[in-house]
Structure 1
């Protein structure tokens, strides 16, 4: 979407700060299923949503390793193995620390990809007002 100042005019072949591109973002809630600490001091959060009673792998979102959210995530009880029936190899999933399935986060993204992932996901924070069971695939 392109937006402009109400009283601005269009000047052909000239870029001005009166006209700006705006991204349309969606958001959704996800179960935090695990995390991967990367070598660049970032953390990749592994996300899931329920389809009926089955937890479906929904990809990753990257967040910084500092802050209260990561403190909560990193101290959360762990699981011995992945909570998914199936998930893709690679993406660092072999180094994942799998978590008990009761943390929920909100993620903003542009749109869903054909493979079911998200385009340009951004971690926005933890949600304490929702349960994991409420994170339903749309």
Structure 2
């Protein structure tokens, strides 16, 4: 089940508030064994060996994989070091450990829980005592608290809402302290100065009714190592014409629109440009067709 982006609901007494964890969605399947899958069904079991069965034998749990910084805050930058590794070795496990944050219970001891209200599913989850972070009353000031602590925001969930797999429902509303979004990489602008001979900035697009629309370029938020890695990933995707449906300034290098990244930004202009974008990383858990205006 997916959330829509928006503001805190006016009828906040009908909602519970959870911290929005900046990580990767993962579902744990327990049925005589342990299997971890991503949003689209990809098998993450070997990718995140830290995830355990919590001592449960028959359950399905929804939650988020995060990597915490030294202050205990989720760091998407740290998670980037792990999310591409299908079988991480001891060194990466030690340097960039992950934590699983359970937030919903979908199945328990032979009983599907999809039609139970959110408040009842959460009560059952809390009874399992597996480290699920708490949720708070809708009237609480959790959004301000997350902002003060440098966290991404909150998710407001209707207390009476069922769970609908694959549905992006207004029963769940994600409210962010800053704006982030996925973008499709359609090319790159050659760098100058210190970046001469490499990538200067990435060209970003989103899909609209007119095809993939150019929404700006992002040149900040990269390390030299990140740019080198992106150049290697993009090289096999190069094509000889623009994949964008609208005009793009400068002379650029074009690529097939197959990779999705995430950026933070301040606003969207009337010309559909993202202002002050900052690169946050690739999102291999997303597919380009999902990246819409």
Structure 1 gaps, min length 5:
5-23
Contact 1:76–1:100 (Cα < 8 Å) also in 2: no
Contact 2:266–2:275 (Cα < 8 Å) also in 1: yes
- Does the residue aligned with 1:133 lie in a helix, a strand or coil? helix
Correspondence for 1:75? 235
State the 1:65 CA deviation. Answer: 6.6
CA distance in 1, matches of 2:191, 2:231: 16
CA distance in 1, matches of 2:189, 2:233: 11
User: What TM-score does the superposition give when structure 1 sets the normalisation length?
Assistant: 0.71
Greater Cα shift, 64-73 or 45-54: 64-73
User: What TM-score does the superposition give when structure 2 sets the normalisation length?
Assistant: 0.35
The question of 1:35 aligning with 2:188 is answered yes
CA distance in 1, matches of 2:267, 2:283: 21
Which structure 1 residue ranges, 4+ long, deviate > 6 Å from structure 2? none
CA distance in 2, matches of 1:31, 1:76: 16
- Does the residue aligned with 2:230 lie in a helix, a strand or coil? helix
Q: Once superposed, what is the RMSD of the aligned Cα atoms?
A: 2.3
| 1:68-105 Cα distance to aligned partner (Å, 9 max, x none) | 442444433111100122214x3x2x2x1100111000
Contact 1:43–1:65 (Cα < 8 Å) also in 2: no
Structure 2 gaps, min length 5:
1-143, 149-176
Q: Report matched runs for 1:59-70 at 5 Å.
A: 59-63=216-220, 64=222, 66-68=224-226, 69-70=229-230
Higher relative CO (Cα under 8 Å, sequence separation at least 6) belongs to 1
Correspondence for 1:117? 273
**Aligned pair in 2 of structure 1 residues 71, 78: CA closer, same or farther (>3 Å)?**
closer
| 1:15-51 Cα distance to aligned partner (Å, 9 max, x none) | xxxxxxxxx5200001000001221316210010001
**Aligned pair in 2 of structure 1 residues 108, 114: CA closer, same or farther (>3 Å)?**
same
- Does the residue aligned with 1:114 lie in a helix, a strand or coil? coil
Correspondence for 1:106? 262
Aligned residues: 113
**Aligned pair in 2 of structure 1 residues 97, 109: CA closer, same or farther (>3 Å)?**
same
Indicate the structure (1 or 2) with the bigger Cα radius of gyration.
2
Q: Which has the higher helix share?
A: 2
